[in-house]
């Protein structure tokens, strides 16, 4: 109880635990949430690019960039066939339409992945050639480039968020303190994504250099 018999409110006026002054917290958080999908698209593209980097092991993702001519249209290989790992060095492509075998072989060759597909009239097989040490080092460099592009993508989304937050300050909808708090929160998000990118690339590099 306060003096005079008035009960304490139990809550101080001012900023919330998130660092923003209510109700501006909701506006700032909305700005961040509106860009979540863009962050996820960057990460999705990053994983797609990384999956196409060839290691010494067979992986259906190695064929993710292969496009096949199918009745006048270019179609991703995985929409025309089932791709399985027969063993550590062999991929087997089983088309749902056997008449597409020839086009599938052409599509794989046209993708310039360094594979030499062979068909037995029923399926197409790919035996992965061994990676030389020099080739492994080239692939590690490629992983580094993919990592950097992902970081750039994440950074661009961050810039868009902060631009929107600063615009809200210009329009009188938030304060300098709100902007500073938003900047700190966004940086925490960026660090989390960058750590995820770094760890994923580190695992890929380890896989590449393991003979």
Q: pLDDT, tens digit, for every residue of 77-89?
A: 999 999 999 988 8
Q: Which residue has the tokens 């993702």?
A: 61
| DSSP reduced 3-state for 85 | strand
Contact 194, 154 (CB under 8 A): yes
CA distance 142 to 188: 27
Q: Is the pLDDT of residue 6 over 80?
A: no
Sheet strands side by side (includes 124-127): 81-87, 90-95, 124-127, 118-119
Q: Is the pLDDT of residue 50 over 50?
A: yes
CA distance 34 to 107: 39
- A 10 A CB-CB count for 179 gives 17
Does the predicted TM-score (pTM) go above 0.75? no
Compute the average pLDDT of residues 162-177.
83
Phi, psi torsion values for 90, nearest 5 degrees: -130, 130
Q: pLDDT, tens digit, for every residue of 93-150?
A: 999 999 999 999 999 999 888 888 999 999 999 998 888 888 888 889 999 999 999 9
Compute the average pLDDT of residues 22-33.
70
Q: pLDDT, tens digit, for every residue of 138-163?
A: 889 999 999 999 999 999 999 999 99
């Amino acid at each position: 109880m306060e003096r005079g018999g008035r009960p304490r409110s139990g809550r101080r006026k001012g900023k919330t635990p998130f660092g923003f002054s209510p109700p501006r917290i909701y506006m700032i958080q909305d700005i961040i949430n509106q860009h979540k999908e863009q962050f996820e698209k960057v990460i999705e593209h990053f994983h797609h690019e990384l999956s196409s980097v060839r290691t010494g092991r067979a992986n259906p993702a190695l064929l993710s960039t292969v496009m096949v001519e199918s009745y006048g249209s270019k179609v991703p290989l995985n929409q025309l066939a089932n791709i399985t790992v027969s063993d550590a060095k062999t991929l087997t492509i089983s088309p749902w339409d056997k008449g597409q075998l020839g086009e599938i072989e052409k599509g794989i060759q046209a993708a310039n992945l360094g594979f030499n597909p062979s068909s037995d009239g029923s399926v197409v097989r790919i035996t992965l050639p061994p990676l030389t040490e020099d080739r492994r080092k080239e692939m590690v460099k490629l992983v580094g480039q993919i990592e950097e592009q992902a970081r750039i993508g994440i950074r661009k989304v961050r810039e868009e968020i902060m631009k929107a937050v600063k615009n809200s300050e210009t329009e009188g909808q938030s304060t300098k303190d709100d902007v500073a708090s938003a900047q700190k929160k966004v940086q925490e998000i960026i660090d989390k994504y960058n750590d995820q990118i770094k760890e994923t690339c580190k695992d890929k590099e380890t896989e590449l250099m393991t003979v």
